[in-house]
Structure 1
Amino acid sequence: MKTWFVFIESNTSGTGQLFARSAEREGFKPILFAKDPSNYKYASENGIEVLRINTEDKEAMLHACHLLKSESGVAGVTTSSEYFIHAAAILASRLGLPGPQASVIRNCRDKQKQRQCLRAAGCDVPAFFPATTLKGARAIAESMGFPVVVKPVRGSGSVGVKLCRNLTEVSTHATELFRQRRNERGLAVPRRILIEALAKGPEFSVETFGRNVVGITQKYLGPLPDFVEVGHDFPAKISDSARKLIHNSVISALDALGMGWGPAHTELRLCETGPKIIEVNPRLAGGYIPELVRIASGIDLIAETIRLAAGRPSHLTRPLNRCACIRFIIPAGDGVFIGAHGIDEATAVPNVVETRLYRTPGSAFCRKGDFRDRIGHVISCGDNHTDARFSAMKAYSAIRVAMQSN
């Protein structure tokens, strides 16, 4: 009987399925702990074992893991979801399995605590102040000057992050954030927000494994005031001097946070004064960036994470030296998604390796201003940046989204 590999919940953008497949390729039997299994259609479609359990109850999950351990053993515990990496770290520790330090993950997931730690260590971060009341948020924004970025202290996928250009916008958005008691996954959220200065410059993310920099990703954002990521290029086409600055900045940030185990995804802006760390995420990137890394470099970060969590040696050798790009499909407005034309045309573009839609015709669509606005993507891979980018944009331009107004 195969040894179990436990996943606590999953992200909802596709990587969760890749985690389960990697566990199977490593010879394990994946099992998904989920409060609501209906959130993960891929599990039933692929015959993945699912245990319905309250994933906010760590003791219940620990008991379930002990039952699995007595049956055929548990090789590892992890998650592809930002919201459950702390719980996974706690369970792994209590089961005597490899994993990151739970206290490091807890502090890193709180954007205020993370920023304070980075600033104390001398890392360059945007100016920021926490607020617990609307009056406080307004006063902070006025003292900082506009525009400011207003965001929750916990979150993922740009959920709740917005640029505010005046006091009215700050009041409106801060009121909305303070009103929320639970996030989009149904988890309780702290009654704290951050008001921070807008860092100006191109945005990048750095994909690391331990203290090894795997590569730098160029990120493209949609129009303000939202911060929706609309595309990525891996690796980023930047100068050697910029690459060195970013590399050193990120390693310093990881050291400041005490992070040295497993994957991390650090987002930053390359400003005139140098890199400014926006946030360090103690997990793999979302937005299919691990897939871009795999097809461009040959390094499978998802498989490496599974191996590490199971106590197996990692292999970060780079057999390929190509460029991969993704462009996300985002409807122009709200309504009912009727379908997308031009998929076959996009798929036929040279260097395109994948076109995918996340929604089915007839589903309602309402823009959120975050990752949930993305309804599909195209991925290309070429021998150089020019070819890969050209193919991605040509395929993206071929797809026409049909919407029916409500």
Structure 2
Amino acid sequence: MSGRLLLLIESNTTGTGRLFARRAAQHGVEPVLLCADPGRYPYAAEDGLRTVAVDTADEAALWTAVSELVGEAPVAGVLTSSEYYVPTAAAVAARLGLPGPEAEAVRACRDKAEQRRVLAGAGVGVPGFAVVDEVAGAVVAAAEFGLPVVVKPVQGSGSLGVRLCADAAEVAEHARTLLAATVNERGVAAPRRILVEEYLSGPEFSVEVFGTQAVVTVAKHVGPLPVFVEVGHDVPASLPAESERALRETAVRAVEALGLGWGAAHVELRLESTGAKVIEVNPRLAGGMIPELVRRACGIDLVLAQVLSALGEIPELERGVYARASIRFLTAERDGILTHAGALDETVARARAVPNVVDAVVYRVPGEPVGPAEDFRGRIGHTIAVADHPAPAAEAADRGAALLAEAVSYTHLTATEALA
């Protein structure tokens, strides 16, 4: 190690959080995870990652912890892999005079209502939307747009709280649920405002932007409505040149309109007959293992690029590999239970043995109850496949996921247990 530190303020619980720390260590910089509860991140203990327990929602306490680390060794950068803490990490980086996004820009971007206003004002295509703070207002807005509509919180991640509502009763019920929430799943105060949006039914994509460069376009697979759980991705998306250009140009315009342009941004869009429409801009790296797909398909390591940018270095974003990568997530059809350890290991091994499959994993422990996914937390596992062409990559990922599905039993729960 060089004696320099990279401060990581909180993390996502899977995927890139662990990778951020590993890339920093591989680059000769010591990663230090500052978090309220180290137990939330099992990978930290597994990897021997140094942690500092601090209330990251308390600005004074966090700065005290940062100052102590500054007194110990040079702090070379500040990052986070959690969307909830991007503004916090940006503010700390700015206070230390280190590279990072504009704190106010990412703070405004995280408020989806403000983000919608800015994008619409800049002429970037977005769905029709209304910001409401009461149930009656949600019902009125839904009637104006025409049902069905999407009702969702103004802050959130991973499709949490996002639902397609088919009629006024569903709009009222979901709006009431969202408006009653005082904190989100991280315990952070939730704004008492929600969004009611026009439902766009075109195919969904994301564009991974770095700085103001569109790096790659990703095809998304979304599970059964009324929720919007992402159940798969294909990298790069197979698209006509005109559609590809429309998605990339719209994504970059959105990033620039929001005052972003440092590091990674994950821009989600739908391709409608009227053009590309932005669903949302996330001022962070993509989740859902997309950075790993990009690395395998394109030879571009977005995690390393983000780490290097935080350290003040210029990352390499030129494509060096020309393959196709697909991921499929395992979700439960209904309430069930994971099989016992021996059978689970055998199932995973069979999935990994599928030609072109390069990774297969189940996130849960044997015997754990599972149920239909309402958001990203309902995913049970995944398979990743890589091939020279789109079809074999997608087919292998599908086949691997189908084999993983054999690990879920729907016969071991009684009706009483399923309702418990």
What's the TM-score once normalised by structure 2's chain length?
0.94
How many angstroms apart in 2 are the aligned matches of 1:45 and 1:234? 30
Instruction: Give the superposed CA RMSD.
Output: 1.2
AA aligned to 1:286 is: G
How many angstroms apart in 2 are the aligned matches of 1:279 and 1:67? 37
SS across alignment from 1:361: coil
SS across alignment from 2:8: strand
Q: Deviations 1:129-185 (Å, cap 9, x if unpaired)?
A: 011011111121122220000000000000000000001111111111011111111
How many angstroms apart in 2 are the aligned matches of 1:223 and 1:13? 24
Q: What does 1:152-231 align with in structure 2 at a 5 Å threshold?
A: 152-231=153-232
Instruction: Report the counterpart of residue 88 of structure 1 in structure 2.
Output: 89
Q: Shift of the alpha carbon at 1:59? A: 2.0
Q: What does 1:259-274 align with in structure 2 at a 5 Å threshold?
A: 259-274=260-275
How many angstroms apart in 2 are the aligned matches of 1:180 and 1:361? 32
Q: Deviations 1:237-259 (Å, cap 9, x if unpaired)?
A: 00111111111111111121111
Count, aligned residues: 406
SS across alignment from 2:221: strand
* 8 Å contact kept, 2:23–2:304: yes
Which of structure 1's runs of 4+ aligned residues deviate more than 4 A?
none
SS across alignment from 2:101: coil
Instruction: Report the counterpart of residue 408 of structure 2 in structure 1.
Output: 402
How many angstroms apart in 1 are the aligned matches of 2:365 and 2:19? 21
AA aligned to 2:233 is: H
Instruction: Report the counterpart of residue 312 of structure 1 in structure 2.
Output: 313
Q: What does 1:5-404 align with in structure 2 at a 5 Å threshold?
A: 5-339=6-340, 340=344, 342-367=347-372, 369-399=374-404, 400-403=406-409, 404=412
Q: Shift of the alpha carbon at 1:366? A: 4.4
* 8 Å contact kept, 2:16–2:289: yes
SS across alignment from 1:186: coil
AA aligned to 2:174 is: H
How many angstroms apart in 2 are the aligned matches of 1:143 and 1:316? 44
Q: Deviations 1:384-404 (Å, cap 9, x if unpaired)?
A: 111211111121122213244
AA aligned to 2:402 is: S
Greater displacement, 213-222 / 367-376: 367-376
How many angstroms apart in 1 are the aligned matches of 2:243 and 2:24? 36
* 8 Å contact kept, 1:58–1:91: no
AA aligned to 1:166 is: D
SS across alignment from 1:27: coil
How many angstroms apart in 2 are the aligned matches of 1:61 and 1:363? 36
Q: Deviations 1:71-111 (Å, cap 9, x if unpaired)?
A: 11111111000100010000000011100000100111000
SS across alignment from 2:360: strand
Aligned-pair identity in percent equals 47
SS across alignment from 1:342: helix
* 8 Å contact kept, 2:332–2:373: no
What's the TM-score once normalised by structure 1's chain length?
0.98
Greater displacement, 394-403 / 183-192: 394-403
* 8 Å contact kept, 2:207–2:267: yes
* 8 Å contact kept, 1:221–1:230: yes
SS across alignment from 2:334: coil
How many angstroms apart in 1 are the aligned matches of 2:216 and 2:394? 18
AA aligned to 1:392 is: A
* Structure 1 alignment gaps of length 5 or more: none
AA aligned to 2:26 is: R
How many angstroms apart in 2 are the aligned matches of 1:374 and 1:67? 39
Greater displacement, 63-72 / 257-266: 63-72
AA aligned to 2:52 is: L
Q: Shift of the alpha carbon at 1:367? A: 4.0
